[in-house]
Amino acid sequence: MSRKKTAEEYEKTFAFRFFRWLSGEKDPYIGNVEMQPQKKYEPDHEAALRREKEHDAIMDKVYDTGHNRWLHLFHRLYQASSILFCLFLIALLLVTISYLPPNGTVTRPVNNEVSARYIEKGLEETGAVNIVAGMILDYRAFDTLGESHVLFVATITVLILLRLNQSEKDEAEVNDRRFEPKNDAILQLVATFLVPVIIIFGIYIILNGHLGPGGGFSGGAVIGAGLVLYLNAFGFKKTERFFTEKTYKWICFFSLSFYCLAKSYSFYTGANQLHSAIPKGTPGAILSSGLILPLNIAVGLVVACTIYAFYAMFRKGGF
């Protein structure tokens, strides 16, 4: 059993002094060692400036890329070696290509039973006259869904990178107006005639995607180009009446979710050998080939909005 010390007794022990020194309550030198009072700190502006100047001069000397002989030598070496490497790459690829089976023949390994099956059964199973459209929107529809999402994500990333806050936006708009052709009569007249034609042509390409060359991507790009021309001729005030951030959000949301749900239904019924409620129609008619036409429309809407959104964001950082 240990004996309890009183407070006075404890203050004389080594442990008490040690812990007091450890917690910083008492400095053993103060009062015991002779000391001069400390001077107050005064920042020396001139010295700081001089040091900054010296630092800048050193940096100028170090990063003097114009007069650095070793850097020039390195550049020369870099250029020569990269050209040599590319020549080597060309030679390597050409030698490899010379051993490939000859171009345009049926016996190439690419032309296997997969493509034969797509061609022979494609019209019957998908109802699309254009076999490529039937392939990318029916057999490999998840590919296309991923691609639409790539476009959507790219738009979001560009929006994050180029977004401006409100005051910057106003300033950017003023800057933008300076470069814009203000009410150019020729441009506006041409645009009045051309924009409907371009947009109708885009709609034709989208609606005709399963009957001939075309489809959601190319048609959407044409519609987007028409919108860009309209924007250039008439300015943001007119386009903002029908296309804002909200429009983009809702169009993309509905198109992508419609694509997901429709394709999920068709994959579900296909995988479980169920009867699909979507009629195939007669091949060659405009309302045929089951889901391909609505999916084309969905993809076209996403692409057109994305193209317009890219342009608007590049112009003034937002739309």
Footprint (CB under 8 A) of other proteins, residues 252-271: none
CA 62 to chain centre: 37
Burial of 300: CB neighbours in 10 Å, binned 0-12, 13-18, 19+: buried
What is the nearest approach in angstroms of other proteins to the Cβ of residue 14? Answer: 49
- Nearer to other proteins among residue 15 and residue 100 (C-beta): 100
Interface with other proteins in residues 276-295 (CB under 8 A): 283
102 belongs to the binding site for other proteins (CB under 8 A): yes
- Nearer to other proteins among residue 195 and residue 266 (C-beta): 195
199 belongs to the binding site for other proteins (CB under 8 A): no
- The tokens of 254 are what? 């509905």
Tell me which of 27, 52, 171, 213 binds other proteins, using CB under 8 A.
Answer: 213
Cβ-contact 294, 258 below 8 angstroms: yes
Interface with other proteins in residues 122-141 (CB under 8 A): 122-124, 129-133, 135-136, 140
Helices 245-271, 292-316: axis angle to 10 degrees equals 150
Tell me, what DSSP letter sits at residue 2?
A: P
What is the nearest approach in angstroms of other proteins to the Cβ of residue 205? Answer: 7
- Nearer to other proteins among residue 216 and residue 266 (C-beta): 216
Cβ-contact 308, 222 below 8 angstroms: no
- Nearer to other proteins among residue 228 and residue 266 (C-beta): 228
CB atoms within 10 A of CB 113: 8
Interface with other proteins in residues 141-180 (CB under 8 A): 143-144, 147, 150-151, 153-155, 157-158, 161-162, 178-179
Binding residues for other proteins, total number by CB under 8 A: 84
DSSP notation for 11-73: HTSHHHHHHHHHTTS--TTTTTS--PPPPPP---HHHHHHHHHHHHHHHHHHT-TTS-HHHHH
- The tokens of 83 are what? 């050209």
Binding segment for other proteins among 6-14, 17-25, 27-35, 104-112 (CB under 8 A)?
A: 104-112
- Nearer to other proteins among residue 95 and residue 277 (C-beta): 95
CA 279 to chain centre: 37
What is the nearest approach in angstroms of other proteins to the Cβ of residue 27? Answer: 38
What is the nearest approach in angstroms of other proteins to the Cβ of residue 148? Answer: 9
Interface with other proteins in residues 30-89 (CB under 8 A): 59, 63, 65, 79, 82-83, 85-87, 89
What is the nearest approach in angstroms of other proteins to the Cβ of residue 184? Answer: 9
CA 149 to chain centre: 11
What is the nearest approach in angstroms of other proteins to the Cβ of residue 244? Answer: 20
- Residue 72 dihedral angles phi and psi, to the nearest 5°: -60, -45
25 belongs to the binding site for other proteins (CB under 8 A): no
Cβ-contact 291, 278 below 8 angstroms: yes
